[in-house]
Structures are given as C-alpha cells and as structure tokens.
Structure 1
C-alpha cells in the first residue's frame, strides 16, 4: 500500500465527520416533504415526455439546432511562462460536415496586441482569459446564426456566464437571435446554484450556516423526466434577462439546469422536452449533440504539444513554455 501519514488519515476522518454533521438535517429530511416544498416554494414540478418523430422532424424542416461549446488547454509553468489556447465550435445538426471553429490564445509574455482588452478589464488576468474563451464561443454561435439560421442554439453552460464575461458580444448574439426568432438556451451540466438551500434557510427549515447547494438538495429527488420551473422571485437570473429550470434528464440521480432568454420563456417547456429527447436515458444527463460538440472541440494534451512543437521554434518552446517538471516526461 502507498505510504499514508497518520496526520492525513486523521484529517480525512475529521472531514468525513464534519460533512456528516453538516448534511445531517438534509439526510434526515423526508424526500416527499422536500419535494413538496420545492414544488410549492421553488417552482412547479412538471413531468415531460420525449418528442415523437413528427416533432423532431419540425426541427429538421426549420434549420435544425446548433450546439456550441469551447475548450482550453495550457502549457508552461508559473507566471508569466505559460501559454493558454482556446477553441470554440458551433456544429449544426443539419450541416454537420461544415463545423464553425474559432481559436485564440493568451500568454503574459505577449500582450502587445491586447492593450485595449487589458485596459478595459483593468489588467485582471482571470477576466481576460475568461473573456477569450467565452468570447469565441459567442463568436462561433453568432456565425452559426448568420450562416445557418437554425431553429435553436444550445450553448454548453449557463447563459449568464456570457453576460458576465463578454457582455458586448453576448448582447449582439442575444439581439440577433431575438430578431430572427431563434431560440437560445444554455444547458448546465454541473449546477452551482443554491436556490433551494437559501430558501430553506430563509424559512428557518435549515440553519443559515449550512450553505447547501442545489446539486445535493435535488440529488435523487426528481423522477426521470421531471423538471422544476424555477419561479422568477426565487431565482437570481431574471434581472440579467434569463428564466431557468432544473431537470432530471437521465437515469442518473443528479439534475441539470437550463437557461433560456426571458423574452423566449414561452418556449421553455418545448426546449426542456428537446433536451430530454436528445439525452440518452443511461447517460450522465447531457444532450448527445452537446457531447458530440464537446468531444470535437476539446484540445487534448497531445494536440496541444503537437501544435506548439510544429509551429513554435524549439528554442522558444523550451525556453519559455516547458517547465522543469514537464521536461522530465519529454
């Protein structure tokens, strides 16, 4: 067995004890009562069904759907000797042989062409990197809108991320979709909100210090195909212009989230039904089309090294971006 210090064992045991204490009330809550609470206080719980063939054909006749995702990878060591590469992909369900790719990069060693962006974001390095990744995702989505005029666009992740990280580009995409009548949604695989927990704390059902998240509170609570239509008054996204749902889209006990523009809220059940239809029952709950886009946009370590070894001078690559630790594996 690998060496394990007694101190580490004790710390893990203490962590387990603390987590058990923290989640004690949650674990003891009756699931039926919690579900009724969610239905009455968070949003109506609705059972949805998968689309039939005729409903799916409607999408084929009206431009199909576009899946959008982005990927990033990094090489190098500590600041400033690193390089991040970003790639965005928009893929049409009808014109899948002509995907739209866009790419960008960031390194603190070369910022001469980005002085305007750096100034606008007050030199905040994390904000700059977030802008680059979210920005190219919006760019490929916008090009997809203009090139294919789809029925709907399915972004990977919450739409609020684009509103925060690349506002000007996001507003252009939003307006273009609204003007063309293209439905725009975001599918959230790993929800990080705490809507239910905060409401439970506010109503004194759980302690305010517990800070429980929706991920654990809704785990296993919904039946396959059930969704929660989150009320605007308990959600935090309406002021940014979004309406949201939670949904159990597969046999996996976890839930996913979905955002839609508030101006398109009338389509929320239709889009939930579309996501449900595109998600394999025995999967982790992600629509198959987004999984395909994710696999095709991903920048693997092998791809990263291949690109840089091909297009960067070897001396530049080794001197600036290969850390001493990485050299052990070269």
Structure 2
C-alpha cells in the first residue's frame, strides 16, 4: 500500500491546499458560535439528532433475524424521544416461495432500505411534533435518495414547508472528489484515492472546504456539501444540506463545529448521545427474542450451534 499510494500521499501540503482552492472549493476557517446564538436556536425549536441502529441474532443464512431501531431526540424535549423499530428475517421475506433465491446482495439491500426508512420516519415525526430549527441526521443524505426515496421526498417537503434545516453529518466520508480531479489534471496519477486519505492532516482545526457544485457529485441529486476538520483529530468529516437551504451551509458548518468537542472523534456531541441511545445490544436482542417468541421456534430457527456451545 505504501508503494502504491506513495506518489499521491506524498503530495506537498501547500501544493494540495492550492489545488483544492483552485479546483475543489474555498477553504475557510470557522469560529464557534457563542452562547447567544445557541440560545437563539433553542428559542427557535432546538436541534434534533437522528440516528439508526441494527443488530442480528442467529446463525448462517437464512436462520437469523435483524432488528432495526431509529431515534429522533430533541435538545429541548429530552423526555419525549421518538423511537421506531422494525425487523427482517429471510424466513419471512417477500420471497417466501423460494427464500434460498435471495443472495447476500439482496439481503444487504433490504437491510439498507429498512434502516433508511426507519430513520426518515422518526425524522418526519420529529419535524411535525417538535418543529425544530434544524435536524442533524447521522450519515450522508444521498443514501435516503437511494434507499427510501418516497419517504425522503416527504421529509424534504415537510422541512422546506416548515423552514426546518435538514443536514447530514458524515463521520466516515467515502467520496473521491479530490482524487478524481487530481487524476483528471495530472495524467501521471492513476491510482484510486479517496478524500479521507488525501485530507488526513491537511486541514487545520476548524477549517472547512465548501465544495463547488460542479465537482460535487451529490449536487445533481439536490445537495450541497462541505468537508471539515471539526476536532483535533487529523481526520475530516463531511456535511450535506439540501440545495434549497444552501444559504445556511456555512452556518450549519459552524453549528456542527460548535457542538463537537475538540478532543472527540469529530462528531457533534448530540449525535454521539443519540448514537449511544439507539444502539441495540446483544443482550436486548436475546431478551426480545426470549420474551416475545415461542421458545421452540426461537431455538429451532435462531439459536446457532456456536451459541449453544457458549
């Protein structure tokens, strides 16, 4: 790997920053919002964090069950968090007549759809119940286009109609905007490299790249995006906002920066809290199955030989 990526990862820092400014987007420094601004957000409905979680119990295909959970949690209405859940097992799928026809790709697709749907559902309920100033969703907004399109359009419309800002915070960016542009401009670069590697340690704490629409592959799907170093860690995170709210992109960048502890992994504290509360532990999975399912069916279909040995 060191040999393969030597040419790209040894690019001079100053050169790369100049390249980014010329071809990718403006690099700007953020200042944290003061308490007066944060109080204003609270007065306008607060911030809602949205995340989802999934866990699996059982053995090899098709003898397993996946449980999904979504959570929307408001910064000002702590005692009324919105939870929704769902489950999936190939033993009770839409292809009941031939469950063995389902392959791993189909199962992964189904899991992605169920998780995306449940996150959009709790977000939509939060918009209607809480009327927050902004919703921070864990992950890129583009995946809702792919896996939950109809429900996602409903959520977009509701947010636009009520003036609720809709933002996605991406902990693990998977884009290759800078690498693709480097390959386009410099013919001697022929290796695939992603933005997370190229930007590792390149931005200063609090710096943000506002990605130009013409190089942002998400733009045609209706999103504007940034990269940001939101903590003292050398890694960067990403952030999306729906294009009709693009004028708030930098403000939401400042909000995410403000809500992120400097010694953290770069994620807003509120999303970290939501992430921990939405998790479905193995103990919860086992408790649910043992309480709500016929014991004979549970052991016959979902207790693996490995589990019996334990």
TM-score normalised by structure 1 residue count: 0.89
Residue equivalent to 2:270: 289
- Note if contact 1:134-1:165 (Cα within 8 Å) is conserved in structure 2: yes
Could you tell me how far apart the structure 1 residues matched to 2:177 and 2:256 are? 22
1:158 to 140, 156, 170: 140
1:52 aligns with 2:47: no
2:292 to 298, 308, 311: 311
1:87 to 69, 87, 109: 69
1:183 aligns with 2:183: no
Structure 1 residue 125 displacement after superposition: 2.9
**Secondary structure of 2:2 counterpart:** helix
Could you tell me how far apart the structure 1 residues matched to 2:96 and 2:26 are? 47
- Provide Cα deviations, 1:93-139, integer angstroms capped at 9, x if missing partner: 00011100000000011136999xxxxxxx93322221111101000
Could you tell me how far apart the structure 2 residues matched to 1:27 and 1:132 are? 38
**Secondary structure of 2:213 counterpart:** coil
**Secondary structure of 2:3 counterpart:** helix
- Note if contact 1:242-1:262 (Cα within 8 Å) is conserved in structure 2: yes
**Secondary structure of 2:78 counterpart:** coil
CA change 1:154–1:318 in 2 (3 A) is same
Residue equivalent to 2:90: 108
Paired residue total: 303
1:30 aligns with 2:15: no
- Note if contact 2:218-2:224 (Cα within 8 Å) is conserved in structure 1: yes
- Note if contact 2:8-2:189 (Cα within 8 Å) is conserved in structure 1: no
Residue equivalent to 1:125: 107
Could you tell me how far apart the structure 1 residues matched to 2:95 and 2:284 are? 25
**Secondary structure of 1:254 counterpart:** coil
Which residues in structure 2 correspond to 1:258-277 (within 5 Å)?
Answer: 258-277=239-258
- Note if contact 2:53-2:68 (Cα within 8 Å) is conserved in structure 1: yes
Which residues in structure 2 correspond to 1:132-171 (within 5 Å)?
Answer: 132-171=114-153
1:40 aligns with 2:14: no
Structure 1 residue 226 displacement after superposition: 0.2
Structure 1 residue 211 displacement after superposition: 0.2
- Note if contact 1:200-1:206 (Cα within 8 Å) is conserved in structure 2: no
- Note if contact 2:9-2:198 (Cα within 8 Å) is conserved in structure 1: no
Residue equivalent to 1:279: 260
Q: List gaps (5 residues or longer) in structure 2.
A: 98-104
CA change 1:113–1:311 in 2 (3 A) is farther
CA change 1:205–1:37 in 2 (3 A) is farther
Q: List gaps (5 residues or longer) in structure 1.
A: 1-18, 116-122
1:212 to 185, 193, 214: 193
Could you tell me how far apart the structure 2 residues matched to 1:181 and 1:241 are? 17
Question: RMSD of aligned C-alpha atoms?
Answer: 1.5
Could you tell me how far apart the structure 1 residues matched to 2:116 and 2:154 are? 14
**Secondary structure of 1:29 counterpart:** coil
**Secondary structure of 2:108 counterpart:** helix
TM-score normalised by structure 2 residue count: 0.95
Structure 1 residue 28 displacement after superposition: 2.4
Q: Stretches of 4+ moved more than 4 A in 1?
A: 112-115
Residue equivalent to 1:4: none
CA change 1:206–1:231 in 2 (3 A) is farther
